[in-house]
Structure 1
Amino acid sequence: MTTAQPLVDLRDITVSFGAVKALRGVSFDLRPGEVHALLGQNGAGKSTLIKVLSGVNQRDGGTVLVHGKETNFKSAQDSRDSGIAMVYQDLSLVPSMSVASNLFLGREPHGGTRLVRNRSIVHAAQKYLTEQGFPIKASARVGALPFAYRQLTEIAKALMGDIRILVLDEPTSALSAGEEEILFKTVADVTERGVGVIYVTHRLHEVFRISDRVSVLRDGLNVGTHNTSDITMDKLVSEIVGPGHERMAQATLSVEEGDRRSAFRDESSESSTHAPVIELRGVTNARLKGVDLKVRPGEILGLAGMVGSGRTEILETMFGLRRADEGEVLFEGKPVRWGSPHQAIAAGVALVPEDRHEQGLVLADTIAANIAMPRLPQLTRAGAFTKGEANRRAKKAVSDLNVRAPGIQTKLQNLSGGNQQKVVFGKWLTPEPKLLLLDEPSVGVDVGARDEIYGIIRGFARNGCAVVVVSSELVELQLLCDTLAVIHDGRVTTRVHTSEVEGEERLHHLVQEPAR
């Protein structure tokens, strides 16, 4: 890393949205060849700051210098033309197109037949992906890829061209350990070429693994910029959550450091000995192979496994998105063959999906409208929508889940990622489900909000709800779950009580051992 002129120098940036001051005089700089991590809770101002740099948000005050020259980007294209590439949590890929077509979108070759052009694009894309170490087929349709590979495709796309400044917003949120290593190697390679990387993350261990400097935003202010080697984990957490939040800070450290004594886990809340809420007996379909699982009232079952192992497909089968070709699904002791999620929801099943933007929310609609969506039949009387009851439920969800928003008529696209995730949970608060399915529940959730999210999940379980959790964070599964099932290639290979797994390293071994 060098002390040369900064690639980016943001000075005293202020941004307001109506009466809400999103940024209050924030300064931040990026040097050539460094990784500068940007941290903060949801709503702290991280996304707003990088959107000023991208030309999406216009500042009210302050100065933006890029390569030493004052700039005033009016659009994302202005930013891109200056050598700045952005990878947001909200992916910009076209699902119906191939990986190659997405990589070359807007810069397609001319001349020749369409077939020749397509072959040329696929060949060039595959060569690029292979050179960069991305394990993706250029000919694959993006919509058919697991979420992790869609995210890798987005990152690969951002790195194409003459890029001097790369902004990564939660880049590893859905990546496996092996895929994280690909990303980290790519980041190391580009910084060796003098590219500066702004790295927005909630995973604090990544900060110490990959960054040279770290800045913390809180309530629209920069509360500290440090050389990463000069700051400890507990100091960093304290800056993120702020004074008066000692319990939240300790809980966050528990997740980051794998402390099994964390307050998240309520040891007195043992799962019930009653009959299972849901049971899979020898379930086989296109992705599952003879799966046997049962979840009892009050139990939190964690599904551990590599990306593509079949964890998400188990949730989809429980939710009526996939049928069992062989075997059977029993709900409250009775065989069911749900043909759609509507039938599962009516029976008392709820799903918080991995990709909240594609499956869990309508970003252009309001908090109130999103929370009402899965309960429309209950909120309709004599063919008329009962807006008053819908608003009451929305206000309760916003209050109970501490959603940071001006009001229930706020559009989801104006909320931070963590607050959007809270709204997804809010959809299922009234009435509470009998079975709650969670696919990567803490993706994009900041270090402070994790405590709240885990508390919400344990609250569902204490009230007798059966909970199934898929998470790539193995420490999260250990802290949160009563029992764990390890999934390999569509099969359940191991099922253990969490107390029987001593340390994250043992769980890593279980996850990576091939099925026998």
Structure 2
Amino acid sequence: MREPLERPPLLKATGIAKSFGGVRALLGVDLEVLPGEVHALLGENGAGKSTLIKILSGVQRQDAGTIEIEGDAVSFDSTAQSRDAGVAVVYQDLSLVESLSVADNLLLGREPRTRLGFLKKRKLLAEAEAFLKAHKIPLNARATLGSLPFAYRQMTEIAKALMGKVRLLILDEPTSALTDDEEKILFDAIRTVTARGVGVIYVTHRLNEVFRISHRVTVFRDGANAGTFETAKTDMAQLVSAIVGPKQMKSGQALREGESRRTAGDANLPSSEAAAVELRGVRNDRLKGVDLTVTSGEIHGLAGLIGSGRTEILETIFGLRPVVGGELLVAGSRMENLDAATAIRLGMALVPEDRHVQGLVLEHTIERNLTLPRLPALSKWGWFQASAALARARRAVSQLSVKAPGPATYVKNLSGGNQQKVVFGKWNEPRPRILLLDEPTVGVDVGAREEIYGVIRDAAASGTGVLLVSSDLSELLALCDRISIVVNGRTLRALPRADLGSAEALHHLLQTQQATEQAA
């Protein structure tokens, strides 16, 4: 990777402190970014990364400390001031208009107009298409954003930021829902803007990305600096140690991203042959013939490119999409006109891809979110049992180690990893018979990810059949007993994990199958 430019720092943040009531989020952190540098920012959820990003973007003001951009002292009272200074932020929570096209979103607020203020639609479309082509971003500028998969919407958000007059680009978990191929496109786009001297702050929980894209790494822990490292002179173990600190670590192998704690013998299928769910030639508007069996106690992965139909398989099993052909069987019984309410009564649970839109009510408390899917069970003679709901919420917070003052905490105030734990907690009691997981560790740090892995493995050990969609191929190999290949709405094969080898081998298999399908 090209080295950053030999110039004074593009960004120099010194002694940044921030408190919320009695909680000290930042204790005087420092961060320096050079022109043309990709500077990774790491830390567990709650370490202070998001707070610093909000300060740099003008959402919040620091209580103490100074910020300089190219040597000039700045202090942002609004997001507009931050943007005017050349700071662009791409958050995990997308800020797009789904009813508009990709092109409209890319140029939203800076559309080309005539002297009388009328929109120059052709010029807008031409500018968007030229930018996407120049950066080799595989987006259709004319497509309505809401019709696209989440990963493509995320790529639109990134492209929107890159189109502006950017001096400092902040990317918050930019690859959380991208496949390997889409990740390469993003990395190429990052290299293009850094070649112009743009500095990039790259926030991620996927440590393998750090070594592929960054020049330097800064780690935050508990609101303070835990170290800054030159990427070429550090390794995974050193970064993990800086992130988790002196707390009792799990086995070294478990903490190395993408590796499993399971032994070779554990990779065999569960001894029980009972099918928790079975699909026989299932078809609908997105699926073209899916054959799939998930046995009780099995963790079964779905591997495929974005748009292959992985999410649609989960939605069909959960009753969100109709079965128009083939058979869907749950515990051996054929399902007719299945809907989500019936799926829940049958013991199914869905952890969706976009937790903020589909999995949680952010303005509600932990207790209310945990209660929503279990209202019938928590009601007696038409009366809601508030004490039983509170006790259930307290158990879930304790069992899942949700870092919050208590069940009355609003979900919007939790870190990403703790929000995801709440999504899991909705289905934790009673234990589901079938657990459907769509990108379950998106935006989750190393420590919380291992805890979620533990929840998934415990569910399977208790007899739950788990069906897991993940764009992180290493995650699939770390967790799954078998993995099915999904291409163009069809399942092509199901292979034992031991037969797949490495993430690279699985990625090659996906590419080969995709090419074969396209040639057919």
TM-score by length of 1: 0.95
Q: Per-residue deviation at 1:248? A: 5.5
- 2:125 is matched with 122
Name the CA distance, whole Å, in 1 between partners of 2:291 and 2:262: 31
Retained in 2: the 8 A contact 1:241–1:248? no
Retained in 2: the 8 A contact 1:103–1:157? yes
Q: Which consecutive residues of structure 2, in runs of 5 or more, have no partner in the other structure?
A: none
In the alignment, does 2:87 pair up with 1:62? no
Aligned pair count reads 512
- 1:340 is matched with 339
Change (3 A) 1:389 1:213: same
Question: Which of 177, 180, 197 is 1:177 aligned to?
Answer: 180
- In the TM superposition, 1:475-486 aligns within 5 A as 475-486=474-485
Q: Per-residue deviation at 1:193? A: 0.6
Name the CA distance, whole Å, in 1 between partners of 2:387 and 2:72: 53
Letter in 1 for 2:186: L
Q: Per-residue deviation at 1:28? A: 0.8
Letter in 1 for 2:250: R
Q: Which moved more, 1:396-405 or 1:144-153?
A: 396-405
Question: Which of 42, 53, 56 is 2:56 aligned to?
Answer: 53
Change (3 A) 1:166 1:496: same
Q: Per-residue deviation at 1:109? A: 3.1
Q: Which moved more, 1:156-165 or 1:500-509?
A: 500-509
- In the TM superposition, 1:182-193 aligns within 5 A as 182-193=185-196
Name the CA distance, whole Å, in 1 between partners of 2:92 and 2:385: 34
- In the TM superposition, 1:71-470 aligns within 5 A as 71-111=74-114, 117-247=120-250, 249-253=252-256, 255-256=257-258, 259-260=259-260, 262-263=261-262, 267=266, 270-470=269-469
Letter in 2 for 1:410: T
Name the CA distance, whole Å, in 1 between partners of 2:386 and 2:65: 43
Name the CA distance, whole Å, in 1 between partners of 2:249 and 2:411: 30
Change (3 A) 1:231 1:311: same
Letter in 2 for 1:456: V
Question: SS where residue 163 of structure 2 aligns?
Answer: coil
Letter in 2 for 1:387: A
Q: Per-residue deviation at 1:268? A: 8.6
In the alignment, does 2:507 pair up with 1:504? no
Name the CA distance, whole Å, in 2 between partners of 1:2 and 1:125: 29
Q: Per-residue deviation at 1:365? A: 1.6
Letter in 1 for 2:138: P
Q: Which moved more, 1:393-402 or 1:75-84?
A: 393-402
Name the CA distance, whole Å, in 2 between partners of 1:277 and 1:250: 31
Deviations 1:216-258 (A, max 9, x none): 11111111001111111111111111113331653121x34xx
Change (3 A) 1:264 1:169: farther
Q: Per-residue deviation at 1:114? A: 10
Question: SS where residue 267 of structure 1 aligns?
Answer: helix
In the alignment, does 2:7 pair up with 1:4? yes
Question: SS where residue 65 of structure 2 aligns?
Answer: strand
Change (3 A) 1:480 1:459: same
Question: SS where residue 362 of structure 2 aligns?
Answer: coil
Q: Percent identity?
A: 54
Q: Which consecutive residues of structure 1, in runs of 5 or more, have no partner in the other structure?
A: none
In the alignment, does 2:494 pair up with 1:495? yes
Deviations 1:100-139 (A, max 9, x none): 1111222233339999633332222112221222111111
Q: Per-residue deviation at 1:68? A: 1.8
RMSD between superposed Cα atoms in Å: 1.9
Retained in 2: the 8 A contact 1:354–1:439? yes
Retained in 2: the 8 A contact 1:238–1:249? no
Change (3 A) 1:93 1:116: closer
Q: Per-residue deviation at 1:380? A: 2.4
Deviations 1:259-280 (A, max 9, x none): 45x2599829952434211111
Letter in 1 for 2:485: V
- In the TM superposition, 1:10-49 aligns within 5 A as 10-49=13-52
Name the CA distance, whole Å, in 2 between partners of 1:30 and 1:78: 20
Deviations 1:28-48 (A, max 9, x none): 111111010000111111111
Name the CA distance, whole Å, in 2 between partners of 1:60 and 1:110: 41
Name the CA distance, whole Å, in 1 between partners of 2:179 and 2:501: 21
Question: SS where residue 10 of structure 1 aligns?
Answer: strand
Q: Which moved more, 1:130-139 or 1:269-278?
A: 269-278
Name the CA distance, whole Å, in 2 between partners of 1:353 and 1:248: 29
Q: Per-residue deviation at 1:94? A: 1.1
Change (3 A) 1:269 1:374: farther
Letter in 2 for 1:246: M
Retained in 2: the 8 A contact 1:272–1:296? no
Name the CA distance, whole Å, in 1 between partners of 2:56 and 2:263: 37
Retained in 2: the 8 A contact 1:363–1:413? yes
Retained in 1: the 8 A contact 2:14–2:65? yes
Retained in 1: the 8 A contact 2:267–2:498? no
Retained in 2: the 8 A contact 1:264–1:451? no
Name the CA distance, whole Å, in 2 between partners of 1:376 and 1:203: 37
Question: SS where residue 288 of structure 2 aligns?
Answer: coil
Name the CA distance, whole Å, in 2 between partners of 1:163 and 1:265: 49
Question: SS where residue 452 of structure 2 aligns?
Answer: helix
Retained in 2: the 8 A contact 1:264–1:454? no
Q: Which moved more, 1:107-116 or 1:437-446?
A: 107-116
Question: SS where residue 277 of structure 1 aligns?
Answer: strand
Q: Per-residue deviation at 1:66? A: 2.2
Retained in 1: the 8 A contact 2:323–2:337? no
Retained in 1: the 8 A contact 2:289–2:490? yes
Name the CA distance, whole Å, in 2 between partners of 1:456 and 1:284: 32
Retained in 2: the 8 A contact 1:323–1:339? yes
Q: Per-residue deviation at 1:161? A: 2.2
Letter in 2 for 1:243: P
Q: Per-residue deviation at 1:445? A: 0.9
Q: Per-residue deviation at 1:4? A: 2.2
Name the CA distance, whole Å, in 1 between partners of 2:153 and 2:301: 24
Change (3 A) 1:416 1:3: farther
Deviations 1:388-428 (A, max 9, x none): 22222222111111111222222222111111111111111
Change (3 A) 1:338 1:189: same
